[in-house]
């Protein structure tokens, strides 16, 4: 029943250290196979600290996921706002994804394997809100071009798979090491294919 416990680290950035450590572990072992102790080792913090800040492994994963998806989304919206035409927009969606995945491969792999994460209810609803806001903005940006007849009229739920599906599929391939050709080298091919698939003729 005797305890100790005197703080030996001050770090206001403790949260970030833990998130980075967790990402490295999730990437190496998978979310399910990563143990709280592995994250703690990597982050060089105490178990208690991890629980204090995130409430457990799932809490860390949720926070990481939300941070990652937010960064990916925010970056896209920023670039999209600078686009002037439908073609530029479509290409930007593909190229931004390729850029982002190239720059953050670990985070990208983590986002692509989200099904392993058991989000807490609050995290779930937060995510839902994030998705709604993001896709709302994206669809509203592209909507006018469909109305103007510059893009094909398709079932709404097929636009994203048609535009992003191929680059995402290739990203999976590259991230898993089954192909070595960098995304940057083939991104143009996918951008071109995407525009061809949705442009009005």
Partner DNA sequence: TATGAATGAGTCTTCATTCAT
Partner DNA sequence: TATGAATGAAGACTCATTCAT
**Bridge partners of 199?**
151
d(CA 165, CA 148) in angstroms, rounded, equals: 25
17 sits near a second copy (criterion: CB under 8 A): no
Out of 28, 30, 48, 144, point to the residue binding DNA (CB under 7 A).
48
Token couple for 101: 């995945």
- Asked if 182 is part of the footprint of DNA (rule: CB under 7 A), the reply reads no
Q: Pick one of a second copy, DNA, none as the site partner of residue 157 (Cβ within 5 to 8 A by kind).
A: a second copy
How many other CB atoms sit within 10 Å of the CB of residue 55?
Answer: 13
Total residues interacting with DNA, rule: CB under 7 A: 28
If one asks whether residue 45 binds DNA (CB under 7 A), the answer comes out as yes
How far out from the chain centre does Cα 150 lie?
A: 29
Based on DSSP, count helices (H) and strands (E) in the chain, helices before strands.
9, 0
> Site for DNA (CB under 7 A): which residue of 7, 121, 155, 177?
7
Q: Which of 23, 57, 63, 174 binds DNA (CB under 7 A)?
A: 57
Query: Which SS3 state, helix, strand or coil, does residue 148 take?
Result: coil
Helix, strand, coil: what percent of the chain each, to 5?
A: 75, 0, 25
16 binds DNA (CB under 7 A): no
Q: Please tell me whether residue 86 binds DNA under the rule CB under 7 A.
A: no
What does the alpha-carbon distance between residue 175 and residue 105 come to, in Å, rounded to a whole number?
A: 7
Rounded least distance, CB 81 to a second copy, Å: 25
The smaller minimum CB distance to a second copy, of residues 8 and 153, is found at 153
Based on CB atoms, which residue is closest to a second copy, 47 or 74?
47
Residues contributing to the site for DNA (CB under 7 A): 1-11, 14, 33-37, 45-49, 51-53, 56-58
């Amino acid at each position: 029943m005797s305890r100790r416990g005197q703080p030996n680290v001050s770090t206001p950035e403790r949260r970030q250290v833990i998130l980075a450590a967790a990402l490295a572990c999730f990437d190496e072992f998978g979310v399910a196979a990563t143990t709280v102790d592995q994250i703690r080792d990597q982050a060089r913090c105490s178990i208690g600290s991890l629980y204090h800040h995130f409430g457990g492994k799932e809490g860390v994963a949720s926070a990481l996921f939300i941070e990652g998806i937010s960064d990916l989304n925010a970056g896209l919206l920023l670039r999209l706002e600078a686009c002037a035409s439908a073609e530029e927009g479509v290409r930007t969606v593909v190229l931004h994804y390729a850029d982002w995945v190239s720059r953050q491969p670990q985070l990208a792999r983590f986002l692509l394997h989200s099904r392993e994460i058991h989000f807490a209810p609050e995290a779930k609803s937060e995510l839902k809100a994030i998705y709604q806001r993001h896709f709302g903005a994206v669809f509203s940006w592209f909507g006018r071009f469909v109305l103007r007849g510059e893009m094909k009229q398709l079932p709404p739920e097929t636009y994203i798979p048609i535009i992003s599906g191929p680059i995402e599929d290739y990203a999976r391939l590259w991230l898993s090491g089954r192909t070595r050709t960098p995304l940057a080298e083939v991104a143009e091919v996918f951008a071109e294919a995407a525009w061809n698939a949705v442009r009005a003729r």
